[in-house]
Amino acid sequence: FLYFYLFIYLIILSFTALCSVSECVQRQYHFINERKTWTEAQRYCREKYTDLATVDHMNDMNELKKSVNGGGFQFVWIGLQKTGHNKWQWSSGEPAYWDTGEPNNYGGGENCTAVNAQGKWIDVSCTNQYPFVCHEGE
């Protein structure tokens, strides 16, 4: 049994190392200081880069904030959109989950997501025009 537990421990350790390495391989973010609707921003990002910014973990969020640092923006688009009743997903198709307080659908029709200057996700109308963040890779 000792060898069995040692084997399981080594497998878990290997997966942990892989996760740590994958978190180190980050997306490259590009701040685009042009005001566009969410759909226009997504089209631009898909033509020139990979897609609108996706945030999988805190490292991504920190890199995204660095890309817009000092831009004097109020909001910037990221690639998060409402796809159904209380269902949100990244433009890449991956599901997304919010912290408490948002999305609040204040005023109705807030089906897209922007990031404010403090890095908080805010649901807003997709027809608003904001600068945006694209990502490359993955």
Rg (CA), the chain: 18
Q: pLDDT tens digit string along 88-138?
A: 999 888 888 787 788 988 878 899 999 888 888 899 999 999 999 999 876
Q: Does position 20 have pLDDT exceeding 60, yes or no?
A: no
Each domain of the chain, given as residue ranges in start order, spans 27-136
pLDDT at 101: 81
* pTM of the predicted structure, to 2 decimals: 0.77
* Portion of the chain with pLDDT greater than 70, in percent: 79
Q: Does position 81 have pLDDT exceeding 60, yes or no?
A: yes
Q: Where are the beta strands (DSSP E) in 20-120?
A: 28-36, 51-52, 75-84, 87-90, 95-96, 112-116
Q: pLDDT tens digit string along 30-68?
A: 999 999 999 999 999 999 999 999 988 778 888 888 888
14: which residues sit within 8 A by CB, 6+ positions away?
Answer: none
Q: What is the CATH number of domain 27-136?
A: 3.10.100.10
Measure CA 85 to chain center. Answer: 20
Angle at 138 between CA 15 and CA 71, to 5 degrees: 115
pLDDT at 4: 45
Terminal-to-terminal C-alpha distance of the chain: 40
Decide: helix, strand or coil at residue 34: strand
